[in-house]
Amino acid sequence: MTHQALRALPSVDRLVNQAQLHINDQLPRDELVRIARAVLHNVRTTANGEPPPALEELVAVVVAQAEQLLQPSLRPVINASGVVIQTNLGRAPLSAGALAAMQAVAQGYSNLEYDLAAGERGSRYDHLGAVLARLTGAEAALAVNNNAAAVLLVLACFCTGKEVLVSRGQAVEIGGGFRIPDVLRQSGARLVEVGTTNRTYARDYAEAITADTAAILTVHRSNFKIVGFTHEPHELELRHLAHEASLLWIDDWGSGSLLRSERYGLAAEDTIQDRVAAGCDIVCFSGDKLLGGPQSGLIVGGAELIARLRKHPLLRALRVDKLTLAALEATLLSYVRSRADQELPVWQMISATTDALQARAQAFATQLAEAGHSVEVLASESTVGGGSLPGETLPSVAVALPGPPAALHARLRQGSPAVVGRILENRLLLDFRTVLPEQATALLQAVRSALGQGLPTP
């Protein structure tokens, strides 16, 4: 840019004064000064002999950057992907009861670590132990910040410097690069793989036991199945083997459920109650997947073992805060009332009938048609997701939107609220199993807005 062109650029002060007229003092002046300086610097260094932008253009850039700065990076998304426990979208939505419980303890003080009856210091770990034990059949329970932390704590407490036997078919990696062998190394335990990828017998465990063996670790495969020529030892064999050899049987049951999945048209799978009844000494599972609560890792097992975990120094780094405890307790109370599938969004979605989804999708399509947008209602398939019930699907109902799917999907993702669907056979689908009923109006407005801009180019 020539010297004369540079002189034509507005001063930082003038640019800031003009920008302030548009943002109503939402940002301190020094922040606007910082933005204006950066905008002017960019113009000076990137212009290739072209005339400088007009003042109005520069003001618009400053205002846009100021507004972007004020927008939270973490924001709500309407999940129309058909994946119920969508890990990338925050996993389980919380129930109204959980949200109310969080607000109640967040807006003031609480008895987080205070025993109101005794009038002295208490423990945050007392709030959930009794209800979790009641629901699972275990003697005691503990909550930490996620299931990886639960497994790490258990291994660090009981297996550091010792061998842990794991079936080769269960030395898995799940989302985010979480690998069972890596967790074992971090805990100080030594992994000993037994059996083969597809067939492991009780004798494989028995032959691997040495004086240094501390535990047998069984792991839910989470996001894949091994089918065909397979074998796994029966639970009674593992229980007998572990107890005869004075080993712990530690069970990482991943996205563990307290409800029977077959009641909702899914394959039968052990509940947490089943794992406890099978004889596992400790069971670890997630609180934010099929349980339907906030991010957390739950550990249930024998009272003496849980007591040792509560005294372990690592627990301090893995503990949950008051908001998580409040949301977890409210979530668990839905199970105590036998109302989980009525009150928890994850189970509301899983249990929704195709007739109900059809009615909602058809009403949505009708409202779009009234606005001049023709869409198709069609049968679809949803998945549970979140490493739960791999390979299982639920019949669902979706709306197929017109136009180039990738470009339209990008437009919806960048809207407010953001909408995430899925592209199948070159069509953008919005699956109504994972759209919360209370989001229907917002979804309609978002789609109308996206389609109202005209069909995007591919």
The predicted pLDDT at position 149 comes to 93
Chain position carrying tokens 């969508």: 86
The predicted pLDDT at position 202 comes to 87
Helices (H) and strands (E) in the chain, counts: 19, 18
| Cα separation, 50 vs 5, whole angstroms | 9
Backbone angles phi, psi at 164, to 5 degrees: -125, 125
b/e string for 136-152 if b means 16 or more Cβ within 10 A? bebbbbbbbbbbbbbbb
Contacts of 110 (CB under 8 A, 6+ apart): 322, 326
Backbone angles phi, psi at 418, to 5 degrees: -70, 145
List, in sequence order, every residue forming a beta bridge with 73; answer none if it has no partner. none
Domains of the chain: 3-70 (no CATH), 77-86+347-452 (3.90.1150.110), 94-344 (3.40.640.10)
Query: For 231-284, how does the pLDDT look when each residue is reduced to its tens digit (9 = 90+)?
Result: 788 888 999 999 999 999 999 998 889 999 999 988 888 999 999 999 999 999
Tokens of 387: 């490493």
Radius of gyration of the chain (CA): 27
The predicted pLDDT at position 403 comes to 87
pTM of the model: 0.90
Chain position carrying tokens 């047998």: 216
- DSSP, collapsed to helix, strand or coil, labels residue 388 as strand
| Closest to 95 in 3D by CA, of 342, 425, 336 | 342
| Closest to 417 in 3D by CA, of 438, 445, 448, 375 | 445
| Closest to 457 in 3D by CA, of 406, 384, 393 | 406
The predicted pLDDT at position 223 comes to 60
Query: For 167-195, how does the pLDDT look when each residue is reduced to its tens digit (9 = 90+)?
Result: 987 776 666 566 777 887 888 889 899 98
Q: How far is CA 193 from CA 138, 164, 197, in A?
A: 28, 8, 10
| Closest to 362 in 3D by CA, of 352, 350, 372, 375 | 375
Q: What is the mean pLDDT of each run of 10 residues along the chain (458 residues)?
A: 67 92 88 94 80 89 92 94 93 96 96 96 95 97 94 95 89 67 84 86 91 93 68 85 94 92 89 95 95 97 97 96 97 97 96 97 95 93 80 91 93 94 96 96 95 70
Q: Other CB atoms closer than 10 Å to residue 121's CB: what's the count? A: 8
